[in-house]
Structure 1
């Protein structure tokens, strides 16, 4: 019966699923000859040569890609390469990576990891790296279709076990149909394919530093089962998904200035129009930028709890995400500089070195964006300690 389900799913989920092992060699061959992919790498790795002789830079990149792809025949092989690059990234841009709570989770169970969302690619990447360090299988990653602007980007994401979340479907009926299929795929992955999933608690990053679970995301999770068994209790549906909240904390956000621009535009009632491939540049900035310390806290599994409504589950995910969130000196220094809510300050662990680093980053922020930049770092304190003050504001 399971093989019948799998065979049917392979066709039904083709539009959104990650690649299979059997597809990897063909995809890599196409990528190694993709002009746009070669050009993107050449601009990053060989900028001077690309400006002088782009044809030569791209030819060299193509040769290098084909050499690096030798022996990469499965998704697992590809992710070993990703793990190597992640280690290099951590060595260059992370002062300390803190991982907590994973040892408390049964490794034999597939999980639906739901985390707060601050960085487009690094949030699931850090979750994957934590799993990889412990010898556990990595997750399938939910990624918005708005990020798949180029075929080579889509190919890379799907090679890294990403599946597509609809964000640009035209019309309510089409969007509901797309979310129904997404709900079915998540349920299929966990219950039939024995494969874990990473999902952000909301669509889009929390640019203001306020982590809140979108009830619509949680409602989507129940759509598939409710369509089959309308009277099935919500508690049973949620329990079968093996949900684990995850909290991800960055001491510094490499994209903080760009986020401040979006916050300023929203506050002034202006539409913020992203430039072409701005999301791709945000991904690159997040990977290469300095992050200070990073903490990934895996929460308590929720499959043994009973949540009779979406609201109950949302509250528990928020509680665990916020209780596991690490408040760094950057957060307290921002709140202090804003001069608000002094009762929430705890400056006991802050050193002169912390201040110097914070002030150096603050000095790089354009004057008209400083207030929004500070609020990004201050808001997590308020959200964790006194969320009612955010509502009042």
Structure 2
């Protein structure tokens, strides 16, 4: 058994066997049937499942490696993006050079679509897609683990409770990330913090930056970070399909001090995040951080500046900020009508009002903060104020 076998993505040699296992997995076929035929699945699932399995076996019979699989899947990803967005744009991808590997450190709003949109940008730029960090809390079903590891995902063990076990897991993770970039020349995508930024306040967890250094502690921290080509990535959604659920969670946490996820809640978030309307989406790739920062907290502050300034603000963000009771007059944030055309703003006002009306009155402040925080953060950086 190899050093990284417990967490690494599947290799090309493993692809045919894993695909065969997936297409014989009853739970996986159930999910596909419900997704493809939501109105017929309950009554006719017994008939539809074998037909879907047969079609997929035929379509994927010649797939023998990860890159060919990604070429096939990309058609479905592009279709999903076309259906659920008003277009995806990206900037800075020219900073990524073929033949080099990067540690892509991104803000985190959506469980599946954050890395999917990064992959979309990189793939369409003709570059190899990164390996994707995914928490083991999302891999409770074997078919989900198979699916993700086929698509270049590797496992982050977050559910371990023992201190010694967690330390060993992060040591292994650190070694794998370093090995991937320096030995395999394969880029890595990882979120800047565990869990989504449900209040729209994107911040880098310095513990993650320390983790990158764990397996090379005999080397200076700044040298290790430079060797990994740490590149901040900003993913901006005009609208968050999960904003109502996030507002509810934030409200419950604020009023009770805790929040317990219902069974299947992560699955619902994944489904809504994939299929729900997002408006426009923008992905910005920064340049690798080369500053001589020997302290993880200083580095976290620098990464935050890159991610927050790279975030694209849409009309809805300014509309939310204007409603926010914690807005800061000294930031001199302009009114939305000074930045956007009348037609663009009119469309945004209708959609924003619809979302406000969908949200229960007591939860509305937690909906507003999700869209207002990116404005506050970006303008604080512009004003030279601390975050």
Interval containing the TM-score (normalised by the shorter chain): over 0.9
Q: What is the match of residue 7 of structure 1? A: none
- Verify: 1:241 aligned to 2:232, yes or no: no
Q: SS where residue 71 of structure 2 aligns?
A: helix
Q: What is the match of residue 306 of structure 2? A: 320
- Verify: 1:373 aligned to 2:373, yes or no: no
Picking from 313, 335, 344, the partner of 2:333 is 344
**Superposed displacement of residue 378, structure 1:** 0.9
- Verify: 1:288 aligned to 2:282, yes or no: no
Change (3 A) 1:20 1:87: same
Q: What is the match of residue 334 of structure 1? A: 320
- Decide whether the 8 Å contact of 1:114 with 1:201 is kept in 2: yes
How does 1:70-219 map onto structure 2 within 5 Å?
70-219=61-210
Q: What is the match of residue 273 of structure 1? A: 260
**Superposed displacement of residue 392, structure 1:** 11
In 1: Cα distance, 2:14 partner to 2:264 partner: 27
Deviation digits for residues 287-345 of structure 1 (CA, Å, limit 9, x no counterpart)? 1111111111100112x432222122112111100110111111111122235425434
Q: What is the match of residue 361 of structure 1? A: 355
Change (3 A) 1:182 1:57: same
In 2: Cα distance, 1:65 partner to 1:262 partner: 38
**Superposed displacement of residue 275, structure 1:** 2.1
Picking from 10, 21, 32, the partner of 2:23 is 32
Q: SS where residue 339 of structure 2 aligns?
A: coil
**Superposed displacement of residue 120, structure 1:** 0.7
**Superposed displacement of residue 121, structure 1:** 1.0
Which one is further off, 340-349 or 288-297?
340-349
Which one is further off, 17-26 or 368-377?
368-377
**Superposed displacement of residue 210, structure 1:** 0.1
In 2: Cα distance, 1:327 partner to 1:48 partner: 38
**Superposed displacement of residue 367, structure 1:** 2.9
Q: SS where residue 114 of structure 1 aligns?
A: strand
**Superposed displacement of residue 388, structure 1:** 12
- Verify: 1:251 aligned to 2:238, yes or no: yes
**Superposed displacement of residue 206, structure 1:** 0.3
Which one is further off, 367-376 or 193-202?
367-376
Which one is further off, 15-24 or 364-373?
364-373
- Decide whether the 8 Å contact of 1:149 with 1:277 is kept in 2: no
- Decide whether the 8 Å contact of 2:305 with 2:381 is kept in 1: no
- Decide whether the 8 Å contact of 1:105 with 1:301 is kept in 2: no
**Superposed displacement of residue 65, structure 1:** 2.3
**Superposed displacement of residue 225, structure 1:** 0.5
In 2: Cα distance, 1:44 partner to 1:129 partner: 22
Q: What is the match of residue 4 of structure 1? A: none
- Decide whether the 8 Å contact of 1:115 with 1:248 is kept in 2: yes
Q: SS where residue 291 of structure 1 aligns?
A: coil
Deviation digits for residues 92-143 of structure 1 (CA, Å, limit 9, x no counterpart)? 1221312101113332210000011111111111111111111100000000
TM-score normalised per structure 2? 0.93
Picking from 295, 298, 302, the partner of 2:285 is 298
Q: What is the match of residue 261 of structure 1? A: 248
Deviation digits for residues 138-170 of structure 1 (CA, Å, limit 9, x no counterpart)? 000000000001000000000010000111012
- Decide whether the 8 Å contact of 2:104 with 2:233 is kept in 1: yes
Q: SS where residue 72 of structure 1 aligns?
A: coil
In 2: Cα distance, 1:292 partner to 1:270 partner: 33
In 2: Cα distance, 1:72 partner to 1:138 partner: 18
**Superposed displacement of residue 387, structure 1:** 7.5
Change (3 A) 1:369 1:44: same
